[in-house]
Structure 1
């Protein structure tokens, strides 16, 4: 795995952070069996509309928090295999900016569309990575069917599964689509202005939901 992630340091760090957060919640809960529900640390990291004004940091911490081992493993597999390809294709700096923006975009969508639902998990940002993977394939001149099918299958899964965040996934998917032309822009100025603008919109949306404005 170390060799596999060579050239993708940010993906490795994000994965380690998610695993560390889960282990910390398990240690606090004293169990490996769904420690989220018995961990104050995990609960305090959850994105939940009614508490967001007093805990705006949860827009970020929720993306590193997972319900149980299955939830964590599934998300980390997607992160490692897709994140590596995206990071190596666009560069670590652009990748980190895009991932962070996707986290914020997904959180903002949840708070505006599903305010009362507590949400955790990296899957919102991972949906953005799936979209960006299409850009990687296009950039490399590869057949686009595989990444498009990957996105389509996960969209279908979102609607048929009963334990996933519909709006978190939708927010990540939409953020990825908006980021796509900027992440792969040839001119650095356009790339960074575009990503910055998308991030700014997400931050403003989150700020309104936190009651900072309006």
Structure 2
């Protein structure tokens, strides 16, 4: 309990996003009666999975671009993403503050979803990996302005990019979309002027939302 309390104090949004992902996973697992194929026969999974033919119908189905960020396909998927989110997201949130961090997380997640919809429209996709790729790029920027060792964050990005191309089950365009969103934000995100930070991050978020609406 003390650890959870400390996490909440240090990084409330990161803790909240992680909790949402875990809770959503548990709901889909109960609905599907499976820990490893939890999107099968899950009403929530069917409603939130990112799938171009559904999103292009318009209306509330466009919210799949956000809902899919918190949806995961099995126990290993949610466990790895939750671990990385607490590891990377907490550092980003402590650096930037909660409001800007939330905007950056959403820009990365929705940006990844938009990229999938434009580049891999017919492939069902789910997971926080796109948002995480954006956060990993931002972590490189944070380490640089802090004068820290860049080898660790750069290695983290490189390993995950390599995994993207080696593992057949991951979403290439989801990961690349998050990477591009992070790259578009990073110079603004670490700028000394808070107004510049907000302008850059909100511009990427607006572009991501616009891209989803244009599908």
TM range (shorter): over 0.9
Q: CA deviation at 1:4?
A: 5.2
Which residue is equivalent to 2:51? Answer: 48
For structure 2, which runs of at least 5 residues remain unmatched after alignment? none
Give yes or no for the alignment of 1:88 onto 2:91.
Answer: no
Secondary structure in 1 matching 2:4: coil
Q: Among 67, 75, 78, which residue is 1:69 paired with?
A: 75
Secondary structure in 2 matching 1:89: helix
Runs of 4+ in 1 over 4 A off after TM superposition: none
Q: CA deviation at 1:33?
A: 3.5
The 1-side partners of 2:156 and 2:38 are apart by 30
Which residue is equivalent to 1:212? Answer: none
Q: Among 157, 160, 169, which residue is 2:166 paired with?
A: 160
Which residue is equivalent to 2:201? Answer: 195
Q: How does 1:199-210 map to 2 (within 5 A)?
A: 199-209=205-215
Give yes or no for the alignment of 1:36 onto 2:39.
Answer: yes
The 2-side partners of 1:50 and 1:138 are apart by 41
The 2-side partners of 1:138 and 1:8 are apart by 21
Q: Which moved more, 1:138-147 or 1:165-174?
A: 138-147
Provide, for residues 127-178 of structure 1, a one-character-per-residue CA deviation record: whole Å limited to 9, x for no partner.
0111111112112111111101110111000000010000000000010011
Which residue is equivalent to 1:185? Answer: 191
User: What is the count of residue pairs matched by the alignment?
Assistant: 209
The 2-side partners of 1:202 and 1:33 are apart by 31
Q: Among 4, 7, 12, which residue is 1:2 paired with?
A: 4
Q: How does 1:16-27 map to 2 (within 5 A)?
A: 16-27=19-30
Give yes or no for the alignment of 1:11 onto 2:11.
Answer: no
For structure 1, which runs of at least 5 residues remain unmatched after alignment? 210-214
Q: Residues 182 and 9 of structure 1: is their aligned pair in 2 closer, same or farther, counting only changes over 3 Å?
A: same
Q: Which moved more, 1:190-199 or 1:153-162?
A: 190-199
The 2-side partners of 1:171 and 1:180 are apart by 14
The 2-side partners of 1:30 and 1:152 are apart by 36
